[in-house]
Amino acid sequence: MADEKNEKKFSPGPALSYPTRQTIQNVTIAAVPYTSDVDLRSAFGKHNPAQYGVLPVLVVIQNATDKALALRNLEVHYELPDGRNIDPTPAGDIGRLRGARHPKQVPVNVGSPLPIPTARKKGGTDWEIEGREFAVQMLPPREGASGFFYFQTTSVPGAKLYVSGIREAATGQELFYFEVPLDAK
H/E run at residue 40: helix 37-44
Domain housing 92: 13-97+116-181
Check residue 4 and give its pLDDT.
46
**Would residue 102 count as lying in a domain?**
no
**Residue 156 in domain:** yes
pLDDT-based confidence at 95, cuts 50/70/90? confident
Tens of pLDDT, residue by residue over 55-88, are 999 999 999 999 999 999 999 999 999 999 999 9
Q: Are strands 160-164 and 75-79 parallel, antiparallel or unpaired?
A: antiparallel
Give the per-residue pLDDT at 106: 40
Domain CATH number, residue 47: 2.60.40.1230
CA dist list (Å): 77 to 58, 59, 150, 154: 13, 12, 10, 14
Q: Would 157 be classed as within a structural domain?
A: yes
Domain membership flag for residue 105: no
Does 103 map to a domain?
Answer: no
> According to the model, what pLDDT value does residue 163 have?
97
Give a yes or no: residue 110 inside a domain. no
For residue 38, being part of any structural domain is answered with yes
Contacts of 18 (CB under 8 A, 6+ apart): 30, 31, 32, 60
pLDDT tens per residue across span 21-54 = 999 999 999 999 999 999 999 999 888 898 889 9
Query: How many domains in the chain?
Result: 1
- pTM over cut 0.95: no
In a domain, 4, yes or no: no
pLDDT single digits (tens) 115-145: 544 443 444 457 788 999 999 999 999 999 9
* φ/ψ bin of 83: left (φ > 0), alpha (ψ from -120 to 50), beta (otherwise): left
pLDDT at 8: 61
Quote the CA–CA distance of 35 and 41 in Å, as a whole number. Answer: 10
